[in-house]
Amino acid sequence: MTRACESDRVIKVLAFDTFGTVTDWHSGVSRVLADVFPGVDASLLALQWRLTYAPTLAEVEAGAREWSLLDDLHREQLDRVLRENHGISPSVEQLDAAVHAWHVIPGWPDAADSIRRLKTRFVVSALSNGNVALLTEMAKHNGFEWDFIGGADLWRHYKPAPQVYLGIVELMQAEPHEVLMVATHVSDLEAARSCGLQTAYVERPLEWGPVDKPESRCDDDLFHATGMDDLADQLGC
C-alpha cells in the first residue's frame, strides 16, 4: 500500500492526530457516560457529543467565538446535547466526570508500542486539538512516550487551521516536507498537505463504534496504513 517514493527519506518528525488515530474515543467516552448517566444510551450520546466537535471548533476558527480550551467546549456541548436530546440537566460533577473521560481514553491496542518503535528513528509528537494538560494525562495513562506534545493551546488555534501544522514545523526547526502528519481523518490530512507537510492515513474503521466513519477515503497520502503498527513496519522501525 506504500507509494514507492524517495521523499520518505527526509521525514524527520511524525505528527499524530490523537482522538481516533491513536486513541479509541468512542469506547472510552461511552464507558464513562454509561457510568455517569445511567439509563442513557451511552454509545449514542458519545456519537451525538462528538458530532458537535468539528462545528464548534470551526466557530472558534471563524472568529464567531473567542478561543477556549477543548475541555470547556466539551463541557458546553455535552450540557447542550443532554438538555436538548435527552431532557437531562446534568450536575457539575457529572459534567466534570464526562469531560475528564477524554483525558484518559484508551489507546488503540497498537498505539503505545508503535510510538516506542517509531521514536527510535523519528521525532514523534502528538498534534491534536486537545490541550496540553489533557494530552499529557492521556499519554501517562496509556504509556505514550511522545517526544513532544503539540496541543492546540500552544497556538490557540484548532486544526484544520494552518497555524497548527506550521506551528509544529517551526517548533521542530524543520521544513514542512520533513514533517509527516498521521491521521485517520481526511480533512486533517488535506489541511496538512496544503501547508506542505507529507501525510499518512491510518485506517481506524471502528472509530465511530457502531456507525460508519463520516469521511471517505483519499488517495493523496504518501502512506496508507492499516494501523500504527503497519505504519511502523512501512517506515522500517
Residues in contact with its own copies by the rule CB under 8 A: 69, 71, 119, 123, 131-133, 136, 139-140, 145, 147-149, 151, 153-154, 170-174
Burial (Cβ within 10 Å: 0-12, 13-18, ≥19) of residue 89? exposed
Closer to its own copies by CB, 83 or 140: give it: 140
Query: DSSP label at 106?
Result: P
166 is written with which cell numbers? 506550521
Question: What type of residue is 81?
Answer: V
Of 46 and 70, CB closest to its own copies:
70
Report the residue number, 27 or 136, with the smaller CB distance to its own copies. Answer: 136
Distance of closest approach, residue 165 Cβ to its own copies, in angstroms: 15
Nearest-approach distance from CB 10 to its own copies, in angstroms = 16
Q: Helices 42-51 and 70-86 sit at what angle, rounded to 10 degrees?
A: 120
Dist. CA 156–CA 146, nearest whole Å: 21
Q: Phi-psi bin for 203: left (phi > 0), alpha (psi -120 to 50), beta?
A: beta
Compare residues 34 and 69 and give the one whose CB is closer to its own copies: 69
13-16 β-sheet, strand order: 148-151, 123-128, 13-16, 179-183, 198-202, 223-225
Residue type, 119: K
> In the complex, what is the shortest distance from the CB of residue 47 to its own copies, in angstroms, rounded to a whole number?
27
Looking at the Cβ atoms of 13 and 32, the one nearer to its own copies is 13
CB of 69 to its own copies, least distance (A): 8
Q: How far is the CB of 132 from its own copies (least distance, A)?
A: 4
